Structures are given as C-alpha cells and as structure tokens.
Structure 1
C-alpha cells in the first residue's frame, strides 16, 4: 500500500457525484460509495491508496461526516476499501476482480476483419526508396564487425539534432539507438528496476509498458487520468509520498487517451522526481503526431537539472511499425551503462535498418506533414461516426496521436470486444490498458485506417453493442495475444 489522496483531490475526482440521475434516486452515502467504486473501476483512483479521513472528506464535499462514514462502510462491505483502526482506509478491489495479463493481438489473415487493436499506420511511400538508398550506403560498414552497441554515429547525430531543434540541446553521446521504443523501455527497466521495486504508471497506459514492468516483478502503482488528463497536484504528491524507483509517463498525446501534458506540470515533474530519488521515463512515441497548429510545450527533459529524465522514442508511430528503430536520450554516463546492459541482450541494432532510418529522418518534415494531414481526416471521420451511431458514448477529441479513448454507456468493454469480433471488428478493450480489471467503461479506438474502413467499423461496433442489450449469443471469443 502506498500514497495518500487528500480530501480536496478526491473531491475533484468525484466531480458532481451526487447529480447523476442514477444517484439522485439513492441516499447520499450510497451515491458517494457508488461514485468511488466508479473511480476505481475506471482506473481514475488507484488501488492501494489511502483515502482521506472521514472528517476531511466531509469538509471537502460539504456533507456530513455521518454520510462519509456510511459510504466508507458500504465500500468496506463491497470489498472496495480495507481499513485498519487508527491507521486509515485503503482502496482495493473485491477478491476475484482481476483480468489476465496484457498482451498483443496476433495478426489475422481474414480479409473481412477490421483490426482496431493496433494503433500503427501503414508505411509511407518514401520507405521503399529510403531502403534502396540505404543499401548503397551499406558498403561503408562491411569492412568492420558490424556491432555498434550505442548505434551508428550518423544516426545518433540525426536523433540528437532533432532534440536540439526542439529546444533540448543534445550531444551524440547522450543517444542510444535501440530496436524500437519497447526495447528502449526494456533496457531502462533492466538497468533501474529491481524485483519488488515500486514503480508508477498512468492509468490507462500502454500495455507493453505494463508487461515490461510486470516482467521485472516491480510493484506497480497507478495515477488515474481524468477527462482532462493529469491531476498535477495529485501526481506530484504521489511521487513524493510513494518514492517510486521509476515513473513511466507519456506526456505527448498519451496512449491511449490522447492527452497533452500542460507546461506547468512538465516544469515541476523533474524536481519532484529528484526529491523522491525517482527516475522519469518519458515516452515520446507520439510527439511528432500533433493534429493542431498550437505550439507544443518543451520536452520534460528541458526542465531536468539532475539527470533524472530518460526520454525514449522511435520510428514506429510517425513512420511504420516495421521500422524497429528507437532510441534513448539520457545523460552520457547513463547511456554507457545502458549500452553495457544491452550487450547482454542483443549486442546491437541492424546496421541496414539504421541506415534506412537516417534516410527517412532526413525526409521527416515532409513525411510527417503528410501523415498529420491524413490522420486529421481519419480522426474527424471517427468522431463523426461515433457521434452519429453511438451518441451515448463520450470522449475528448485528441489534439494528436493515433487513438481516441471513448467512455462507454456501461461497463461492457470486454463483452463488447467479444461481440464485435463476431461482427468482424477486432478491438482492444479498456482493461488491457490498466490493472486488476479496471477500465471496463472505456475502449481505445485508433484512427489509423482509411475513412471508409473506420465508417464500416463503427457501424459494426454499433451492431455489436445492440447485440449486448438484446443478449444475443455469440461464438466464443479467443483470448488476445497482441495490442500495439
């Protein structure tokens, strides 16, 4: 158990808890307990967090202490709260409410299947020409052994220059080239996280990150994201109180919610992390995919004065998932330590792939501009279709990235995914992006497919949702193995 949510912070998370129609018909204490359970189910309130004292919460919500006391009793009875006399009360889930491990969907050869489990676009047309040009560059390296644990210097220079252009001066020695962003995260976890170490992630978050951290046997805690993103005060307090060894965050167009972290929180995060001896792993996989003309805030690492920030990124999202080239930006001594860890894992990245990456990054401005324009049209198509076919669902239109995070009209995400597969649509249900069975009211919907496919997909999803209400039996759903 770890962390404390204060009365004012819980009050912000609860919002207008007593005004919802279903709750106006219930006593206040029942409505309050139901609202807290909803926060837990949605992942907006983490598990194992100590709730405020009854008096403090009563004052924050301007209700009687008796109401809060009765609500806490309801939560204890339902298994959502564990209390110790004189010590406090901690959030929990009833026994048995847990989902299986996260994973990725296996690809399918079914031509009629619309796959919305993967948030990855097709390759740009420039890729084939870049690959041919890279083959011509290859002879320069054929006379040596071909092992470059830190990556080719020419690629490291290009990546460093991209950071410098964003206002974050970076030298070649601060860059380690990896086999994709997931590999970058895995190396960082191998170096920093020991079994049993506390780590902090957002909820929801990228399933691959949860898998990497679970594989290290870390103790994972969560910071729940609301409709507007991060609660900055609560996030900073959680870091200071729980002192995680590592905090994994996605500030730019967060996967899966699409939120963009505000400037002020970026400024405060590195200092809070340093005071707690926490290393921040900042995943910038989607930083190039802004869909508005607003200027982006500076990178979190721009405010780092103590080498606490490790930034990871790669080619998969702005270019192509098959380009297994990623990178880590960190202090030069840390890069050398990561390279030493890397030698025991895979020695080095393929030289030819790195040469292709150099060629693509030289054309990045034009490629990414075309990608943004295409994604903007596809996002707008998805938004229009959802509003027309599933008006009971709610969502915030993302200002960038590849995905929309929809709140459903009921906690049926996993059941809907099973029903939708029978209609020829593969979905990534909300619980895959969280821990312990939470997020059943949510669904991640990528807008990477052509508009005609997105229109068809939403129609099929609407039919699947209708089937759930009718109780129409459907064939057995196979457990997914891949979510990208």
Structure 2
C-alpha cells in the first residue's frame, strides 16, 4: 500500500510556489518535480486529490489537473485511480545518457583537458565496494576519522596483559564480554539513561548491530520507516532484509514531525530507523521536544524506534539533548566506536530492554558466535576513557568544518551547504541535478565522491552531495579545488547535466 500525502502536508512542502514567471499550472508542476528530485517528496507517495489540493492552495481545480498532467507526461507521477497518482522517477530512456556512457566520457577526456584545470591526466578510476580509494585519490566517499593513535595503542597494550586470564575459556560469547558491556552501560547511566550490563549486546560495529535487529524484528515485506536522506549502508541492510522502506523527507529545518507522526499512525511500520544525533548526511540534531513526540507516536502504533547514535559523541556545537532511550524503555539504541575512535576497531553495541537483548542474542547465532576477545578488552579501556581524546578531536573537527565551509563559499558559491552542528560532513545542495555526473568525473580530478542518490531511495538527491570535513584544511583545499574543476568541466558539457538514476558503486561510511 502506497503512502498518501494530505493536501495540507503538500501545501507546507510547496511553500510560496507562485513566482509569476509563467502559467500557474506549470509553476506548480515544476515545484512538485523539484520536491521529488530533492527527495523531500518520497517516491511511491499518493498525492492529494485534485479537488483537495485546489481547495488547500486556493486555486482552480483546472490548475491542479493540468499540473498533474504535466507530471505524468514527464514521468514523475504514475497513472492511478482517479487523480491520485504516485510519485516516481522517470526511466532513463530518453532522459539522459547511460551511466556506462558517462563513465566512458569521463575516462576519455584525459588529454582533452586543458592544463591547469585539475590533477595530472589519467584514466578515471572506479572503485569496487569495500575497497579504499586508489593511491593518490583524496577519498571523500568515506566520512570517518583516522585512529586516535596513542589511545588505541595503549588500550591494546593493556588488553594484551588481560588476555591470559581469559585463555582457559572457550572464547565464544554472543552477548559480549562483561567488562565492556558494563563500561557501555555506565556511559548510558551517566547520560541519564539507567542501564545495566544486561541491557547491552556487543557487536562487530553498528552495521552488524542493525543487521541483528532487522533479523530479529522484521520479516520479508515488513515496513521500515527511514529518514530521507539516510545512511546508505542502513538502506542497504533494509533492502537486504527484503523490507519495504518508508521514506519521510526532511524539511529545511530538519525532521518533519507531522509527517513522521502521520506515516507512523497510517502505515504502522514494524520499526523506524533514525539518526537523531548529528544525522548522516545532514549533521542535524533532533531537539528533545521532537523526541518526546516521536516516542509517543511510536508507542501508540507499536513501532520499535531504532536510534543510531554512532555520531552522538561528535557534538561540535555542544547542543544539549537526551538520548532517545531516555524517553522510552522500548527504544533500541545502536552505538559504536567507529566515528569517535576508529572504524578499524569494528566494535559496536545494542542497548535495549533485557528481554529484547535476549532475542537479539538468539538471532545472532546464525550470523556469528561472538566478537574477537582481544578487541573487546581494548574497547572496554576506550569506552571507560572516552572523554580523554574527544576534546582535541572535536577542536580539530571544528577547524576542519570552518575551513570547508569557507572554501565552498569561495570556490563553489553556487553550492548551498547545510551547516552541521555535529557529525563529520556537510550536505550540499547543487545548482543542478548533477551529483552522479560529478561522482563519475571526480576521479579524473584526483578525488572520490559518494553520489547523492546513495543516500536516498529511487534516484532522489541528484541535487545533493555529501562532503566530509574529516581531512585537515590543506587537504580540504585540494579537494574543493578539484571539486571546482570537476564542476567547471561538467558545466562545459551540457550533455552530462541530466538526471541519472544509478550512481557508481563506491564504499561509503
């Protein structure tokens, strides 16, 4: 069953859509089309009836009828019963060059490029998922930090001295070592969420945690609510579980609580996966009053809220919020050391009520029999001393963020970056739907990108690009200059400025 959008909700998304630059029906169709391309109007959403929308907007029904007709002709609205078509993205046939052709163009213009527009010429290099960028490329596909060196080294040195005491055991522990679970529980308790070790399961990273949750709580074709945009690897996990994602679009201010509440009440998704703390990719944070409303809506519908707090420690502007679990014991929380310390640790966890943890433990046995003991011993030291490396890392990130925003302002003034109050990246709105084209061209200029559509469903976010600020300012300058060169090349090639559906395969974090 498709989601449906009430007329007042669509009116709120449209905003002041009348510009007086042409017939009203064309202006209305253009704004709806842009909402679909930007991901603010989710795909497979039934639009309001012609009569309901005309009454809400104060225009004639003929205006709405003609606007819907244009959207159908362009492929942005399906033919439905009556006037309630569903939003969609057009097929590529006749809508733009294929991705393979675009990649061929990118590979072929080395040598045709004029001097001074980018790095030394050479073939464009596409990278398979899970592999690091080739040597010499600045990697902007990953949003992750290098290790907090001295801290990680000390933690493993201490773990090595503790390992002999555990060697007489079997080494299998599906729920995780008690010292690490207790250290994690103590962090939650200190944050105002009373937690015992029995409420914690240790996992091999946040992605592993989400996989266990999905395996336990959903079945094939179940509905899973997601933010739109959202973390690409989470969307991949939901697809792999054969679930149906229900995307709820962001507004310019962040989470659209009326839309979230409406989808939860109407669709009753089995779970809702959210990143309320420094959302990936936008860097926004959900205020406490919205968290309370969200919890109430989920409780009423029987929806399990899954809060990914992997980025919660990266609070660059010191915005005070309570963990989502502080508002309901039914919330399931995902955490990780990947963003605060190092992705190479592969240590994450799930916090939930004890009966739920027991269900997760039982479901995990078909995936693995537990995590590496040595890594968990080291992780326990890192969690207990989590506050030690954070001040310096946060200060570096603030400097990097300021440098990136200034570089974008200077060199790509037509881009519109969203200011992130935390996290590791800036979500940029591009002047045209060209994110995939930029991603394909980027290796030719010495950088690797993650195309905007990787963060959405059905080809949305061609007008967006995530740019991490995890690199030092001098490398960020090189990266932005390369982005500008790629943008200039794209501007000079009109045949590339088309909306494409399928981004190249790249690893993303």
Provide the TM-score with structure 1 as the length reference: 0.93
Q: Contact 1:42–1:439 (CA<8 Å) still a contact in 2? A: yes
With over 3 angstroms needed to count, the CA separation of the structure-2 counterparts of 1:478 and 1:207, relative to structure 1, is: closer
1:415 corresponding residue in structure 2: 437
With over 3 angstroms needed to count, the CA separation of the structure-2 counterparts of 1:479 and 1:50, relative to structure 1, is: closer
Secondary structure in structure 2 of the residue aligned to 1:89: coil
Deviation at 1:117, TM superposition (A): 0.4
2:71 corresponding residue in structure 1: 75
Q: Contact 1:423–1:464 (CA<8 Å) still a contact in 2? A: yes
1:124 corresponding residue in structure 2: 148
1:386 corresponding residue in structure 2: 408
Deviation at 1:96, TM superposition (A): 4.3
Which whole-Å CA distance do the structure 2 matches of 1:478 and 1:291 have between them? 31
Q: Contact 2:76–2:89 (CA<8 Å) still a contact in 1? A: yes
1:30 corresponding residue in structure 2: 26
Which whole-Å CA distance do the structure 1 matches of 2:503 and 2:462 have between them? 18
- 1:157-213 CA distance string (max 9 Å, x none): 111111111111111111000000000000001111111111111111111111111
2:200 corresponding residue in structure 1: 175
1:133 corresponding residue in structure 2: 158
Of residues 88-97 and 151-160 in structure 1, the stretch that sits farther from structure 2 once superposed is 88-97
Which whole-Å CA distance do the structure 2 matches of 1:34 and 1:122 have between them? 44
Which whole-Å CA distance do the structure 1 matches of 2:389 and 2:494 have between them? 45
With over 3 angstroms needed to count, the CA separation of the structure-2 counterparts of 1:369 and 1:230, relative to structure 1, is: same
Which whole-Å CA distance do the structure 2 matches of 1:285 and 1:139 have between them? 31
Residues 1:160 and 2:156 aligned together? no
Residues 1:367 and 2:392 aligned together? no
2:465 corresponding residue in structure 1: 443
With over 3 angstroms needed to count, the CA separation of the structure-2 counterparts of 1:75 and 1:103, relative to structure 1, is: farther
Residues 1:427 and 2:445 aligned together? no
Count the aligned residue pairs: 473
Provide the TM-score with structure 2 as the length reference: 0.89
- 1:433-483 CA distance string (max 9 Å, x none): 111111100000010011110011001100110001112999xx9943411
Q: Contact 1:105–1:117 (CA<8 Å) still a contact in 2? A: no
With over 3 angstroms needed to count, the CA separation of the structure-2 counterparts of 1:454 and 1:215, relative to structure 1, is: same
Residues 1:290 and 2:312 aligned together? no
Which whole-Å CA distance do the structure 2 matches of 1:245 and 1:26 have between them? 45
Deviation at 1:89, TM superposition (A): 2.9
1:115 corresponding residue in structure 2: 139
Secondary structure in structure 2 of the residue aligned to 1:254: coil
Matches for 1:280-359 after TM superposition, within 5 Å: 280-295=305-320, 297-304=321-328, 307=330, 309-359=331-381
With over 3 angstroms needed to count, the CA separation of the structure-2 counterparts of 1:103 and 1:32, relative to structure 1, is: farther
Of 63, 83, 99, the residue aligned with 2:59 is 63
Deviation at 1:270, TM superposition (A): 2.0
Of residues 332-341 and 222-231 in structure 1, the stretch that sits farther from structure 2 once superposed is 222-231
Unaligned runs of 5+ in 1: none
Residues 1:39 and 2:61 aligned together? no
With over 3 angstroms needed to count, the CA separation of the structure-2 counterparts of 1:283 and 1:381, relative to structure 1, is: same
CA RMSD between the two structures: 2.1
Residues 1:184 and 2:209 aligned together? yes
Of residues 9-18 and 248-257 in structure 1, the stretch that sits farther from structure 2 once superposed is 9-18
1:264 corresponding residue in structure 2: 289
Of residues 428-437 and 3-12 in structure 1, the stretch that sits farther from structure 2 once superposed is 3-12
Secondary structure in structure 2 of the residue aligned to 1:322: helix
1:464 corresponding residue in structure 2: 486
Secondary structure in structure 2 of the residue aligned to 1:176: strand
Q: Contact 2:141–2:506 (CA<8 Å) still a contact in 1? A: no
Which whole-Å CA distance do the structure 1 matches of 2:356 and 2:83 have between them? 40
Of 238, 253, 274, the residue aligned with 1:213 is 238
Which whole-Å CA distance do the structure 2 matches of 1:470 and 1:386 have between them? 20
Unaligned runs of 5+ in 2: 100-126, 497-501
Deviation at 1:360, TM superposition (A): 1.1
Q: Contact 2:440–2:504 (CA<8 Å) still a contact in 1? A: no
- 1:255-290 CA distance string (max 9 Å, x none): 001111122220011221122221111100100000
Deviation at 1:394, TM superposition (A): 0.6
